Structure 1
Amino acid sequence: MHIELVRSSTKSLPQQISETLAQRITSGLLQPGMRLPSVRSLASSLKVSQVTVSKAYDDLESHGHILCSQGKGCFVAKKPQKAQESGFGWQDGYDDFLPRAQLWRNFDYSNVRYPFHIAAIHSDLLPLDEIGSTMSRLVLEQPELMASYGNFQGDSELREVMSRHLRKHGVAVQASGIMITSGSQQGIDLVARTFVGPGDTVYLEAPSYTGAIDVFAGRGAEMIFVPMDDEGMRIDVLTKLCDRRPPKLIYTNPTFQNPSGVTMSITRRQRLLELARSYRCLIVEDDPFSDLYFRKPPPPPIKSLDEEGHVVYMKSFSKVIAPGCRIACVAAGGNILSRLIAAKSASDLGSPLLNQRAVLPFIARKYEAYAEQLRAALRGRMETAAKLLKQHAPPGVTWNLPEGGLNLWLQLPAADGIAGLHARAEQEGISFLPGDVCYSGEKPSRHIRLCYSQMTETEMEQGLRQFLLLLKEHLGSGL
């Protein structure tokens, strides 16, 4: 079993081993009943002492992740399974390099009636018919699109359209400075695989986007989480941390942040850019939600202030028009972009040309008017959800209303029992995102994320009423 250990980390080796295995267990990479390597064999493969591994296993057992039995070994806890009889049992001992994979679990709720767990927009609000019609016409009239590899950097017409859109929002970038990716997730992955290696220091907001944490963990990065307040990431805290461990990269989702909904102030954005200049590092600015404001536009992107190429800016369009098309753009300056294009060419030989051409006319001609209507619809759902929370949330549960985006971030009185609440809610056909997956696992989170835009308004209202009743019973039971 491969675990990337950082000898210079502020975390002890037992803590690194324990946290990595805990993340593999909670994300399903190590399944219930699976036997872990012996203390001797894991110590040998990791080149650490047996005492170090024993401490890690003790910590895992104390938190209920594993069960250890003298003479039999240690096993992943809960619902032990019989050894596979299909012939695939050899795979259990086949090493991989995945330290965690929480993101794929976030989508695995096919049977729930009220899916509050995923930050997405209900299909009724999306322009799917129009984009689908465009795609159908392209297939009939230009079938050669399906026989062509797209430009590694992305379709030139679409990049020009996206360039115009970004310039309207303060990001002065030409089409030549943009790369099309299969969603922002691919953009994050390309930056990480290009610029982040084992032991490199990556700073993130606490909490942060699960998919980004998965990616940076997969690169063996030393992730350090910076607390937030109502103006976003605490730059004063970040500055002190950087004095001790200079950053290779800073990842931020500064506008209607996922999961907290907080928006970074313009002052903090300026200070963050100044910090990146002083340490000669990159900022990855992930911006899927800035078009989804409810009352007034948010502050301009950090990229709009960037004159020296420190910011890699990512803007998802598929998130708000057609998630299945997987279309986003990455804007970067200098040779940072050329290196990312090289990484993308090795990754997928270019994003699907048909998808790019299918969304192009809509983004070019109708996106702005559509976004205005979408903002009104989402604001209505957020206000409905806020009203229900005010009326029915149990004492001790708190939240802040976002000024845009898709999510509500609730704080419960205690972290204990959230796993039980999650399991019970799923039995009732309700899903939510536990806050634990938005951190790297140092300590349990008291938060949960609810998305109010994934269902029809009627379904959302019904589901939220049912969930708040369940939450009241759960907290009243003292679990």
Structure 2
Amino acid sequence: MQIDIQRNIGVSLSKQIYQSIVDRIRSGLLEEGLKLPSVRNLSKELEVSLVTAVKAYKQLEQDGFVNSIQGKGTFVKTKIKEKKREKEAIPSYDWQLSLQDYLPRSQFARYHMAPQKVHLSSSMIDPKLLPNRYFVHEVQQVLSENPELLSIYGNVQGDSQLRSEMSTYLKRSGVLSTPENILVTSGLQQSIDLIARTFVGPGDVVIMEAPTYPGAIDIFRGRGATILTVPVDKDGMRIDILQNVCEKNKPKVIFTIPTFHNPTGVVMSLKRRKQLLDIARSIHCIIVEDDPCSEIYFEKKPPVTLKSMDQFGNVIYLRGLSKTIAPSCRIGILTASGSIFNRLLAAKANADLGSPLLTQKAILPLINSKRMIDHTKKLRTALKIRRDLVLDLLTSLSPEGVSWTIPEGGLNLWISLPSWIDSHFLLSEAKKQQISFLPGTACFTSGQENNHLRISYSYINEELLTHGITTLCNILHAMISSKKISETPPYTIFLG
């Protein structure tokens, strides 16, 4: 079991071991019932003291992640099954633990496409709100007019026509980028991965918001990065704290979602955007500006992008098309300047030699069309209705001690519970009612923030939203009532 130990980051070795194993358990990389290495083998493999290994395992057991059985070892905790397995010869795969991997966590994948009926766990848009019929017509027309598209490879950098259209499209956001500086990727997840594999290696410092998009945490952690976090408030990343962090630890990359932040939905103020650029310029640091859905605003347009103010090539700008047009096409756009772009293009070539040409040609007619502009306007209206519905339900039904953000756009809403409530326990209860959401721990690098959750109001209709939020509030009421009853002191009878 590969665990990266970083000895000069101010985090105890036992806590690093603990967190690495927790991340793997929550990611499904360590299955229930699997036997972990003995503390002696672990301490020898990681070159840490036996006391350190014992402390990590003891904390894992105390927090309910493992069971230690005297004389047998330590096992990933197994849930009680409804049906007992029949006794039969089941092949053992324990030998596979001897094969080292380099996947410290992959939490986001576990919640991305949950099977529950009321799907609140992933930031996707209801397929019924997308221009499917028009898109089908365009795909058919593209194929009928260009059947050879099925028989040829696309350009590594991306289709030249699409990049030209995207250059025009980005100008609407103030991003002045030529087609030569645009790279088409297989969704924004690949964009982030290309940046990480190009510029981030073991021990490099990456600064991220806390909380942040869990898919990005998974990628940077997989590169062995030292991830430092900066909290967000109503105006986005706390620049005062960022300044202090940068003075002590020079980062190579600052990853930010300034517009309709995922998961909180907040918007970074224009003042802070300028301050962030100033910091990056002064320390020669890359800013990765992740912008998946800035067009989905409800009241007013967000401030201009960081990239539109970037004069020295510090910003790598990512814009997604998957969410608002055709998720199955998995089209993302990356734009950067100078040698940074050239190196990212080389990484793309190494990764897959270019994204599928057919899907690029298919969305081409939509990018700057009037139909797309009208579709985006309608989408804003539909999603605002769903956001407002969730806010109204939470206001009227949620118990005392529950709070939430009010997103000005985007697809997500961040909920904070009383500190003693673990969102993983809430999720286990919600799943019994066919409801899913994203536990807040997936959005933190440390995994210690257990009392938060992210819900996405964009994927299911109003009826299911009402049922889902109402049920969650009922579960929370029951949990809080149960705690109050357990804490009520016994009656004392006075005899006089």
| Structure 2: distance between partners of 1:33 and 1:108 | 24
Aligned AA (2:73): G
| Structure 2: distance between partners of 1:129 and 1:19 | 47
Q: Check 1:20–1:84 CA distance in 2 against 1; reply closer, same or farther (3 A cut).
A: farther
The answer to whether residue 148 in structure 2 is matched with residue 149 in structure 1 is: no
Equivalent in 121, 125, 137 of residue 117 of structure 1 = 121
| Structure 1: distance between partners of 2:17 and 2:253 | 24
Equivalent in 264, 270, 273 of residue 266 of structure 1 = 270
Which runs of structure 2 are paired with 1:3-22 in the superposition (5 Å)?
3-22=3-22
- TM-superposed deviation, 1:369: 2.1
Cα shift readout 1:368-398 (whole Å, capped 9, x = no counterpart): 2221111111111111111111111111111
Q: Secondary structure at the match of 1:133?
A: helix
- TM-superposed deviation, 1:454: 0.5
Tell which structure's C-alpha radius of gyration is larger: 2
- TM-superposed deviation, 1:246: 0.8
Q: Check 1:87–1:30 CA distance in 2 against 1; reply closer, same or farther (3 A cut).
A: closer
Equivalent in 472, 475, 495 of residue 470 of structure 1 = 475
The answer to whether residue 49 in structure 2 is matched with residue 49 in structure 1 is: yes
Equivalent in 245, 251, 255 of residue 249 of structure 2 = 245
List structure 1 runs of 4+ shifted beyond 6 angstroms. Answer: 80-84
Q: Secondary structure at the match of 1:8?
A: coil
Answer whether contact 1:415 1:444 (CA < 8 A) is retained: no
- TM-superposed deviation, 1:174: 0.8
- TM-superposed deviation, 1:348: 1.1
More displaced, 128-137 or 279-288?
A: 128-137
Aligned AA (1:244): K
| Structure 2: distance between partners of 1:280 and 1:137 | 47
- TM-superposed deviation, 1:228: 1.1
Q: Secondary structure at the match of 1:154?
A: coil
- TM-superposed deviation, 1:289: 1.6
| TM-score (ref. length: structure 2) | 0.93
In the alignment, what sits opposite 2:373? Answer: 368
- TM-superposed deviation, 1:89: 4.4
| Structure 2: distance between partners of 1:88 and 1:56 | 24
| Aligned positions, number | 478
More displaced, 313-322 or 142-151?
A: 142-151
Cα shift readout 1:309-352 (whole Å, capped 9, x = no counterpart): 10000000111111111001001000111111111111111000
- TM-superposed deviation, 1:80: 7.8
Q: Check 1:377–1:448 CA distance in 2 against 1; reply closer, same or farther (3 A cut).
A: same
- TM-superposed deviation, 1:18: 1.0
Which runs of structure 2 are paired with 1:61-460 in the superposition (5 Å)?
61-79=61-79, 85-86=90-91, 88-110=93-115, 112-365=116-369, 366-460=371-465
| Structure 1: distance between partners of 2:127 and 2:80 | 39
Cα shift readout 1:144-180 (whole Å, capped 9, x = no counterpart): 2122111111111111111111112111111111100
Cα shift readout 1:221-244 (whole Å, capped 9, x = no counterpart): 111110111110001001111111
Q: Secondary structure at the match of 1:449?
A: strand
Answer whether contact 1:415 1:447 (CA < 8 A) is retained: no
Aligned AA (2:166): M
Answer whether contact 2:422 2:451 (CA < 8 A) is retained: no
| Structure 1: distance between partners of 2:416 and 2:352 | 40
Answer whether contact 2:165 2:367 (CA < 8 A) is retained: yes
In the alignment, what sits opposite 1:31? Answer: 31
**What RMSD in Å do the two structures reach over aligned CA positions?**
1.7
Answer whether contact 1:33 1:80 (CA < 8 A) is retained: no
Answer whether contact 2:424 2:450 (CA < 8 A) is retained: no
Answer whether contact 1:23 1:441 (CA < 8 A) is retained: no
Aligned AA (2:364): L
| Structure 2: distance between partners of 1:345 and 1:60 | 42
Answer whether contact 2:286 2:314 (CA < 8 A) is retained: yes
- TM-superposed deviation, 1:91: 2.2
| Structure 2: distance between partners of 1:220 and 1:176 | 32
Percent identity among equivalent residues? 45
Answer whether contact 1:27 1:101 (CA < 8 A) is retained: yes
| Structure 2: distance between partners of 1:341 and 1:355 | 19
| Structure 2: distance between partners of 1:452 and 1:108 | 15
Answer whether contact 2:183 2:335 (CA < 8 A) is retained: yes
Q: Check 1:442–1:125 CA distance in 2 against 1; reply closer, same or farther (3 A cut).
A: closer
Answer whether contact 1:32 1:80 (CA < 8 A) is retained: no
- TM-superposed deviation, 1:419: 1.9
Unpaired segments of 5 or more residues in structure 2?
485-496
- TM-superposed deviation, 1:129: 1.9
More displaced, 455-464 or 282-291?
A: 455-464
| Structure 2: distance between partners of 1:206 and 1:24 | 20
